[in-house]
Structure 1
Amino acid sequence: MLFKKATARKYLSAIAITATLITGLPTLTTAQGLPGLTLFGGPQRDNQLNYRLDYGDAGTWDRYRLRIPAKKVQTAIAQFAIDYPEHYEGKFDKDEIEVKVDGKSVPLSEVIWDQENRLIEIYPEAPIPAGNKIELVFSNVLNPSRRGMYYFNCRIISPGDVPLLRYLGTWVLTIS
């Protein structure tokens, strides 16, 4: 009798695992945390930047990890300017914005959130050298209450450069 119960448990466990692998029903995901596939329109693939959202749900608090690969950083960066679309109704906490260079946080001299012009300006204390992997971390973000796709454009100013913003790439964020 004991042998039959143990064998039955093994078979039931195997069936449950197989059903999970095939249907994926018990699998929980917390967010649309990674960039998806853009079929029509949007920025060219070379201009799309990688990102990660901790949750990605509409109307909830979140953390955005906006990444810039080292190959895109061809000049030093003295300022970041991130603009977002008019239909994005989320809220940012400018005191909870961080810049990481190769995984290490760098001191910031100022962060400005211009709500009227839908622009976030980030000024590191010292210019970020070329050739480094960068991550902009926005904590305490209140996601918009509407689901959708939102284009966040990244522009930079290099030190000693003519103070014109140069396009670096676009994060195509999906809030579900």
Structure 2
Amino acid sequence: MKKLFSSLILAGGILALAPVAEVLAQARGGNPGLTIFSGVERENILDYRLDFRGRRGRWDRYRLRVPGDKLPQGAAEFRISYPDYYNGRFDTDEIEVRIDGESQPLKDVVWDEEGHFIAIDLEEPLEPEQKVELVFSNVRNPRQGGTFYFNGQVKPAEGVAIRQHLGTWIIDIN
């Protein structure tokens, strides 16, 4: 009886701390979940944050982070592709590229709904090795929840102007 009681207390404590652990992980700015089997190599999984918790059918703000080591030649343009079953909505007037919290001037933002990608063309190329945050405000999350792989590419500011793979943001909408 005593063993059962202490097991129940331990299980209850773990369940009580689970939401706290999730909040701490999100506040830290990492992926809001543990990704074990994704089909994407760990070094290619990029961090992100959903400011309003990624609830299906609701408004949100996506913060897609790119570490500086993924931009050894700087950046002139970003392209984010998403799966055809993602039916959320983007507001191209509310997309920013930020460095240290400061919004960078953009030449153009194009949302190709049929091609399932967003292209962000910078007015001035970014210096190499800078940490970047792509901020998508006024996003309408899809009505159906799920896991969506957003793939990032960059057109370097230096060298050959061919888009290069940055990595993947594995976004969970629930």
Q: Which runs of 4+ in 1 moved over 3 A?
A: 20-23, 27-30, 160-163
1:80 match: 78
1:96 matched to 2:94? The reply is yes
Distance 1:123 1:76 in 2: 13
1:44 match: 41
Match of 2:129 among 128, 131, 153: 131
- Relative to structure 1, the CA distance from residue 87 to residue 132 in structure 2 (aligned partners, 3 Å threshold; closer, same or farther) is same
Match of 1:147 among 145, 148, 160: 145
Distance 1:23 1:39 in 2: 21
* Cα contact 1:82–1:119 (8 A) shared by 2: yes
Q: Equivalent residues in 2 for 1:1-176 (5 A)? A: 23-24=15-16, 34-35=30-31, 36-54=33-51, 55-159=53-157, 161-176=159-174
Structure-1-length-normalised TM-score: 0.80
Report the AA paired with residue 93 of structure 1: D
Distance 2:152 2:14 in 1: 40
Measure how far apart 1:99 and its partner are: 0.5
Measure how far apart 1:162 and its partner are: 3.5
Overall identity of the aligned pairs, in %: 46
Q: Which moved more, 1:73-82 or 1:151-160?
A: 151-160
Measure how far apart 1:22 and its partner are: 5.8
Measure how far apart 1:41 and its partner are: 3.4
What SS is found at the alignment partner of 1:42?
coil
Instruction: Give the greater-gyration-radius structure (CA).
Output: 1
What SS is found at the alignment partner of 1:82?
strand
Measure how far apart 1:42 and its partner are: 2.5
Distance 1:74 1:133 in 2: 11
What SS is found at the alignment partner of 1:24?
helix
Note the residue ranges of structure 2 that are not aligned, 5 or more in a row: 1-11
Distance 2:38 2:97 in 1: 30
Measure how far apart 1:40 and its partner are: 2.1
Distance 1:22 1:167 in 2: 39
Say what the alpha-carbon RMSD is for the aligned residues: 2.5
Measure how far apart 1:148 and its partner are: 0.6
Measure how far apart 1:161 and its partner are: 3.9
Structure-2-length-normalised TM-score: 0.81
Distance 2:75 2:110 in 1: 17
